[in-house]
Amino acid sequence: MLMLRQVQISSFELFQSPKQLGCCSSRSVSLPKTRSYRNRSGLRAMTGSVDRSGNGLEKLYLGMDFGTSGARFTVIDDQGVIRAEGKREYPPFMREESMDWVSSWKATLFSLLEDIPITLRSLVSSISLDGTSATTLILNSESGEVLCQPFLYNQSCPDALPEVKSIAPANHTVCSGSSTLCKLVSWWNLKLPNRESAVLLHQADWLLWLLHGRLGVSDYNNALKVGYDPESESYPSWLISQPYSQLLPVVQAPGTSIGNLKDSIRRQFGFPDDCIVCTGTTDSIAAFLAARATEPGKAVTSLGSTLAIKLLSTKRVDDARYGVYSHRLDDKWLVGGASNTGGAILRQLFSDEQLERLSREINPTVASPLDYYPLKSSGERFPIADPNLAPRLLPRPNSDVEYLHGILESIARIEGKGYKLLKEMGATEAEEVLTAGGGAKNDKWIKIRERVLGLPVSKAVHTEASYGASLLALKGAKQK
């Protein structure tokens, strides 16, 4: 179901461009006069009093996020004000008793374009989007036909891992069964006819190709797990020397203009003649961009089913043993790691009502003496690399409040160890932590984490990846 809303923020900071280092800006803006209208679904969006021909002063920027279970769009203006947003679940298209992801993603893409209020479409200057990391498609390089079912983000190809480890440097990001390179090698080794004429695209690349029509273009965030080196801005020699390297896409910086929106799509939906399509990024990077953490030392902790941390650093850090790798963000590095602890174990032990009620009784200024390692099952990778690490959830006190307090504090300690490990590996020391995900709603937990981490901790203003994608669209338009 489509949902639209309008949000206002007082200022907007555009992150740096590699060609304009040191040119960050933050400014307050006067919001445009607005009027509301009701669309066919009975939902509301806001539009400004501007020239509707697309030649007026106002320009808008469209970002879309294609996540694991659905997709979302966000339209912003030059100041980062959200003008409209909505979401769609993926339709359950089936093919031979399995999910037809290609048809589902394509249908969702055009549904989102249709959902954007028609009065705003003519003002959209640029478009970008994100997709799940390491979700991989293999296409015919001439026709664009998808040659096999997509390899999903969490799909592992252990058959290819020994070969990948034999050519890649030790502990490289690609040395994981779920890496894009392992998926490519696994497909290549099937020795299908005409495999030399194929091209590899990531989910975001493929969806953007549907909009601009230039086959074989990617970005350096998505291309990281296929082996691209964003520091040298090239594929390494150990990868180029492989026979399947001819399938690799051309790589550009996220938020780079690829070309104009296809005429057929522009005419169908009413986008302006000069609307451009820009390279995208991964969903986790887009979510970080949405939080607007732009200075080294700023970090974002996502408290969802698992605990994931991302830290903006001046130094690159990579270590596959811990699942730690760095994405390039212009002239900086986004270093990240993910623990198996998080909200999933909380939901296993407590209902939402219990979590809310019990949290109200916790005194966050007092440290809990309980020491747990909350996991749903054995195995941890970050900040401890131990596939056999057992959950530790005992002893359980008689008081549910004390038990919840101990678990929340223990997860906060794991988070602290994660940031400490990144520092020990050479990353910039964390100075401030913004919070995204469901755990950001728990104020008591934020105060516990602030005490345990010894850092300012707050909830991020924007947490939707589609907002981050719209910032990339804005970046691309400004560099055009």
CA dist 255 → 247, 251, 326, 329, 474 (Å): 23, 12, 18, 11, 8
- Indicate the residue type of 224: L
Place of tokens 């003496």: 369
**Token pair belonging to 347:** 């939901």
Rounded Cα gap, residues 174 and 473, in angstroms: 28
Contact (Cβ atoms closer than 8 angstroms) between residue 189 and residue 169: no
Cα dihedral sign, 364-369-373-376: negative
Rounded Cα gap, residues 480 and 376, in angstroms: 48
Place of tokens 């900040």: 383
User: Residue 68: what pLDDT?
Assistant: 85
Residue segments in the chain with a per-residue pLDDT below the cut of 50: 1-44, 47-54
For 336-357, give the DSSP string.
EEEES-SHHHHHHH--HHHHHH
211, 210, 230, 202: which is closest to 328 by C-alpha?
Answer: 230
CA dist 220 → 78, 204, 256, 476 (Å): 25, 12, 11, 15
User: Residue 157: what pLDDT?
Assistant: 95
Model pTM score: 0.82
- Residue 123 phi, psi dihedral angles, 5° rounding: -105, -5
Gap between the terminal Cα atoms of the chain? 34
User: Residue 51: what pLDDT?
Assistant: 42
- Residue 120 phi, psi dihedral angles, 5° rounding: -95, -25
CA 84 to chain centre: 20
Q: How many CB atoms lie within 10 A of CB 126?
A: 27
**Token pair belonging to 166:** 């034999």
Contact (Cβ atoms closer than 8 angstroms) between residue 452 and residue 412: yes
CA angle 338, 290, 205 (to 5 degrees): 80
